[in-house]
Amino acid sequence: MCGIVGYIGDKKAQPILLNALGKLEYRGYDSCGIAIANKSIEVYKDVGRVKALAKILEPHNGKVGIGHTRWATHGEPSKINAHPHSDCAGKIAVVHNGTINNFSRLREMLAEEGHVLASETDTEVIPHLIEKYYDGDFEKAVEMAVGEIDGAYTMIAIMAGESRLIAARKDSPLIIGVGDRENLIASDVPALLDYTSRVIYLEDGDIAVVSASDVKVKQNGAVIDREVHEISWSMEDAQKGGYEHFMLKEIHEQPKVIRDTLTDYLSKAETAADLTGMGGGSLENIIILACGTSYHAGLVGKYIIEDLVNVPVRVEMADEFSLSGQSPAGNQAIVITQSGETLDVLKAIKRLKANGNRVIAVTNVVGSSVTRAADRTIYTRAGPEICVAATKTFVAQLIALYWLALPYARVNAARLDELVLELRQLPVKVQQVLDNEAEIAAYAKKLAAYDNVFYIGKGINYPIAMEGALKLKEISYIHAEGYAAGELKHGPFSLLGEKTPVVAVVTQDNTYEPIVTSIKEIKARHSPVIVLANEDDDVMPDLADSVITIPRVDPLFSPVVNITALQLLAYFVAKERGCPIDFPRNLAKTVTVE
């Protein structure tokens, strides 16, 4: 969730740290800080944004430093709780992501030994543990401190008089940027791209010792080699490109994302992944695990696979799966994660594989933790997504799921050719939705006046109603809920009325007549209704208060065009309400804590 950076080289560290932290703002934070090491350590931190911190800093010539953007977990947002944290003597400073489960016991132990801890954070125990074990060997002291910690951590430590950064990783992402007479450390790629495109992905249990000219990685005390990867996208890909917000840019990139993802699959002679298991075999049970927006993609995937392949699919939230008492075996598992670093998903993979399940991962990040944990990875080729609210990565996940299922479709050859042709035409259909942006923005102005909104859908578009509601609540702060249309009668009907609009996703398939009935029932309760309907639907204009027209596609692919319209609707509602669209409060792009 939080952002971490570190720099060591022949340049001044301060401006590089501030720039790198700025590139991680999309991860969300409420305080920030940097520490620069020379003969002493200077720490600068406060509540608020990186730009505000930069304005109050005095220039510093030090060439070694660390930085952090923090979402409050242990302790409220405050200057004293902000990172970096230091030891008693102020000679060691640490930044940390994750959660230290045993910090209360460690804090008590350190206090009994005379250490004075000033903050409410779990992180502060780390520099004090390093101080406790330091006997002239900085590297050894960090290793011993890490050995005391129970929980998830990504950390970087610096020490006065030391020309090294020492980093450690467990259950939280950390990468090293390999430069020319300089090296960097960060929790995500955008922080590094102004300086290098060559990165090393650290793995769980790694401890890295980084100087300006060398990177040494250790695992269980032994020095090991970690491959250097070349990042395929540039910093320009992570810029707004003339759009007012990253979210709007990323919504408009979706036709290209679909083309790029399909091109990647179509250029290969093999299927996206073998659904039947290693070496073939029967296809009987599939389990899909994900969180948040990716969970909604998994729910759409259930309809796709069950419709095309005719096998049962079970979809679960990864965090709940990890807590359940069941230990399934013999399943083909699909895990979906935009970042490839979602902690609950990684825990679920470990549990699945421990019980003999084969795991296919769908992710957007090459080299991420999930790619190493899974048996096979399907990349979504969406490029960098900066806005906290996922848009183009969701659509790319849907495309990956279509392509995963199509080779196993139990349909005749003519129907399969028809589906592949429809899939190839999706970029054009999505562009038609984008070309209708002004109409959607006009409806958004009306919706922005309400405080509560219901979304409804049926069949394959029920998860799209859920995702549309999630987008609205994420960025506009309007309370929104997505329901299967028939479920409104089981409780939510009591909330309908003139002040509770309903957004209905309507597709002309076997769900059409039931959802028409639901809309009539909603209108009888005087709720305003906005409908997403096919452009040739002649019923909805007379039934609904407003109609957003959607180009006709095969119902199987309707989620792609429908979610594009709902993303735009959420965006323009949030804009009308003056919300911080790219960086909504309390949210983070990558969730690496439980």
pLDDT, greater one: 379 or 493: 379
Average pLDDT of the chain, as a whole number: 89
- According to CATH, where is 3.60.20.10 located in the chain? 3-236
Q: Going along 352-498, which residue ranges are E strands? A: 358-363, 376-379, 452-457, 479-484
DSSP assignment of 225-293, as one string?
Answer: --PEEEPSS-GGGGS-TT-SSHHHHHHHTHHHHHHHHHHHHHTSSS-SS-TT-TT------EEEEE-HH
Q: Which residue of the set 91, 458, 473, 589 is catalytic?
A: 589
Sheet strands side by side (includes 228-230): 41-47, 31-37, 64-70, 3-9, 182-186, 175-178, 198-201, 228-230
- In this prediction, residue 281 carries a pLDDT of 44
- In this prediction, residue 140 carries a pLDDT of 96
Residue 468, Cβ neighbours under 10 Å: how many? 28
Which class is 241-410 in CATH?
A: alpha beta
pLDDT at 141 over 90: yes
Q: Which residue of the set 2, 32, 387, 579 is catalytic?
A: 2
Whole-number Å distance between alpha carbons of 324 and 348: 11
Lowest average pLDDT, out of 144-148, 249-253, 278-282, 590-594, goes to 278-282
Burial class (CB in 10 A: 0-12, 13-18, 19+), 229: middle
- In this prediction, residue 368 carries a pLDDT of 83
- In this prediction, residue 369 carries a pLDDT of 84
The CATH superfamily of 427-577 is Glucose-6-phosphate isomerase like protein; domain 1 (3.40.50.10490)
pLDDT at 79 over 70: yes
Encoded tokens for 572 = 């323009």
- Which range has the top average pLDDT, 175-184, 361-370, 585-594? 175-184
What is the average pLDDT across 326-341? 82
The verdict on whether 2 is a catalytic residue reads yes
Q: Which residue has the tokens 């991962």?
A: 361
What is the average pLDDT across 325-352? 83
Whole-number Å distance between alpha carbons of 389 and 404: 25
Whole-number Å distance between alpha carbons of 401 and 299: 11
- Where do the H-state alpha helices sit in 57-180? 103-112, 125-133, 138-148
- In this prediction, residue 411 carries a pLDDT of 87
Q: What is the pLDDT of residues 479-528, one digit of tens each?
A: 999 999 988 878 888 888 999 999 999 999 999 999 999 999 999 899 99
The verdict on whether 216 is a catalytic residue reads no
Q: Which of 541, 569, 565 is nearest to 553 (CA)?
A: 565
- Which range has the top average pLDDT, 299-308, 309-318, 355-364? 299-308
Residue 453 banded pLDDT, cuts 50, 70, 90: very high
- In this prediction, residue 594 carries a pLDDT of 54
Lowest average pLDDT, out of 71-75, 91-95, 558-562, 581-585, goes to 71-75
Q: What is the pLDDT of residues 173-227, one digit of tens each?
A: 899 999 999 999 998 888 898 999 999 999 889 999 999 999 999 998 899 999 8
Whole-number Å distance between alpha carbons of 43 and 184: 19
pLDDT at 95 over 50: yes
Residue 541, Cβ neighbours under 10 Å: how many? 12
Burial class (CB in 10 A: 0-12, 13-18, 19+), 96: buried
- In this prediction, residue 31 carries a pLDDT of 86
What is the average pLDDT across 404-420? 89
- In this prediction, residue 468 carries a pLDDT of 97
Whole-number Å distance between alpha carbons of 157 and 68: 12
- According to CATH, where is 3.40.50.10490 located in the chain? 241-410, 427-577
- In this prediction, residue 278 carries a pLDDT of 41
Whole-number Å distance between alpha carbons of 462 and 349: 27
Whole-number Å distance between alpha carbons of 312 and 152: 35
Q: Can you give the pTM of this predicted structure?
A: 0.78
Lowest average pLDDT, out of 94-98, 234-238, 390-394, 499-503, goes to 234-238
Q: Which residues pair with 529 in a beta bridge?
A: 502
Whole-number Å distance between alpha carbons of 90 and 244: 43
What is the average pLDDT across 83-100? 89
- In this prediction, residue 289 carries a pLDDT of 94
Which class is 3-236 in CATH?
A: alpha beta
Does the N-terminal peptide bond of residue 84 adopt cis geometry, omega within 30 degrees of 0? yes
pLDDT, greater one: 241 or 184: 184
Q: Which residues contact 297 (CB under 8 A, 6 or more apart)?
A: 290, 336, 362, 394, 397, 398, 401, 463
Residue 276 banded pLDDT, cuts 50, 70, 90: low
